[in-house]
Structure 1
């Protein structure tokens, strides 16, 4: 069975740069989660400081990138669907798969407790609804759902203007960092407070990002050369300061405004790179990854864990760079394959409560054109 490809993605009228941006973001997410999983497995990485440094750097902008991108679509989504239908959509495509896959992952970790790194107990099931940060990677889905629903309500029902939304988001963001510094754990509320401003920022710039008239400007090499030194300087400071303080979250929690500036500049740089990739139509396999980013997010930890166990226990491979590379590639390929197999056999309910309306909305078995890459 052939998997999803660019011909099908193009036929849906998707903007290529969005898939490129999502692909870059999800690969960075996989890097962090898999690297930390390998670290918890007590595999030595003392001679690979560069891998740890990359892990710190990537953390500075990857999650804000997702929230800004999601916020960019909120205006058009509200106009097209309306309040009730849009909230239902968010429930179907974010909250439902979050609960389903978080429950599945905890259950598997409990059953295979002698093989996995996670230490689980029955109490972990309650964390799904109260402390999502304790449920591995899944917290993001609940955070995005909560932020989206709250933003929809304040925008459509309270009629808050975008400037009030940004002001509210900044206040919430600063308060979230105050709670972090005070070591006050407020569970799922923290992520709502912390990321609301980035969602609002996405709404603020969304009409510019989605306007194809701006494509030439956003894909400009002059913009790239302007953003590059800012990006490098921000990432260098973020890395060195966190290393000096021996706290990977120091800048984010103790210098929140500076962290926001570093995160936003990082997002701007990635968006620019994505527009450039779209302009030259290169590395097209990234578009396939970007299109499947949500489904990769749901399953990559389980797949990477199984791959790591197989490589270490069966083949005795402990070389960290090799393990990291194989686990990332395997997690991407198998996640995409699992999704397409599920769609092929009508198991769409594994990923969403929204039933595909017709076959045109489902992945079609068409070969990628103009490229030799196969997924």
Structure 2
């Protein structure tokens, strides 16, 4: 597999995975609204299926091209870049969410106060937690790689951290998040460095069928346990052992799915702008759900279809507009302009 092909399927993977994020948030919003009691069991089941997959895979895809830092000078330059690249979109999203939630008032499920907006430097709002945690992962692992360069050692350290996060979770928000999600980030890096991606692609039929079977069996037992919420992204407990299975499923299937003509090219193109879709879909989906409920529409299938279309095509419309309007994408890609 050439370097270019690897980049192609990573872009494809980001595009398809962010679609799953949009769908998962549409269904989760309906479940948490408590307005669809007759469908709550089905909604929770669907949420759990997608939440087993999308964020673990996203962190692995983000870590795929990670490189150890050579020295302190490189580290500070590296973190300056990451702070600008992730910080400006993070602040932009937080402000937008706060404004929209203030407008929504009592119709919003979890409204943010002004003090919470000011506190985004220690506690993120909404879906922006991914950018917040990703920045901390870059900062922490960057320091770690000043001493540890070997990808096998890095994986070992993060496996231990992952075990700690499941067995004895830490109450400090960012520490627990780092222990939990650094493993998936490094897993993506390790899969590239160890060249296991070639094995996964070569034996994709076996990998896909076996991982799907494992997930299906897990979901069966999970459903029989009569759960009232999906597995926590903060404190998953031993149930978190299922999350890595999704990464192997994705890394085996994405290179193959990427080869399909129109399907592959569509998600490759949008995968390059997955950050825009990730940040914008949440407020769009939320506003759409509130609007439909105010209209008296209570058909869960219609909510899912309309919410998904609004979240997806509303976000992709912004991608199109930012490609036509100069500098309009600064809040998503600030480094592109600061380089000039």
Scaled by the length of structure 1, the TM-score of the pair is 0.78
CA contact (8 A) 1:295 1:335 kept: yes
1:266 matched to 2:239? The reply is no
Offset of residue 304 of structure 1: 1.0
| CA distance in structure 2 between the aligned counterparts of 1:14 and 1:173, rounded to whole angstroms | 27
Q: 2:275 aligns with which of 284, 294, 315?
A: 294
SS of the equivalent of 1:113 reads helix
Correspondence 1:147-186 to 2 at 5 A: 147-155=137-145, 157-180=146-169, 185-186=171-172
- Counterpart residue number, 1:349: 330
Q: 1:332 aligns with which of 312, 319, 325?
A: 312
| Structure 2 gap segments, 5+ residues each | none
Figure out how many residues of one structure are paired with residues of the other and give that number. Answer: 332
1:34-72 alpha-carbon deviations (Å, 9 max, x no partner): 222223333215246433212112212322211211211
Offset of residue 332 of structure 1: 1.4
- Counterpart residue number, 2:231: 249
Cα 1:77/1:337, change in 2 over 3 Å: farther
| CA distance in structure 1 between the aligned counterparts of 2:338 and 2:111, rounded to whole angstroms | 41
Cα 1:337/1:209, change in 2 over 3 Å: farther
Offset of residue 297 of structure 1: 0.8
1:144 matched to 2:127? The reply is no
Offset of residue 78 of structure 1: 7.7
Offset of residue 210 of structure 1: 10
Q: Which 10-residue stretch deviates more, 29-38 or 191-200? A: 29-38
| CA distance in structure 2 between the aligned counterparts of 1:125 and 1:178, rounded to whole angstroms | 32
Q: Which 10-residue stretch deviates more, 105-114 or 45-54? A: 45-54
Scaled by the length of structure 2, the TM-score of the pair is 0.85
CA contact (8 A) 2:97 2:283 kept: yes
Offset of residue 322 of structure 1: 1.7
1:306-363 alpha-carbon deviations (Å, 9 max, x no partner): 222333323x32211221122112211111222332343222322132134899xxxx
1:317 matched to 2:297? The reply is yes
| CA distance in structure 1 between the aligned counterparts of 2:46 and 2:195, rounded to whole angstroms | 28
- Counterpart residue number, 1:100: 92
| CA distance in structure 1 between the aligned counterparts of 2:69 and 2:144, rounded to whole angstroms | 15
| CA distance in structure 2 between the aligned counterparts of 1:353 and 1:45, rounded to whole angstroms | 43
1:201-246 alpha-carbon deviations (Å, 9 max, x no partner): 22212235698xx4xx6544x5223431332223431452365062
Over aligned residue pairs, what C-alpha RMSD do you find? Answer: 3.1
| Structure 1 gap segments, 5+ residues each | 1-11, 360-375
CA contact (8 A) 2:20 2:50 kept: yes
Cα 1:76/1:120, change in 2 over 3 Å: closer
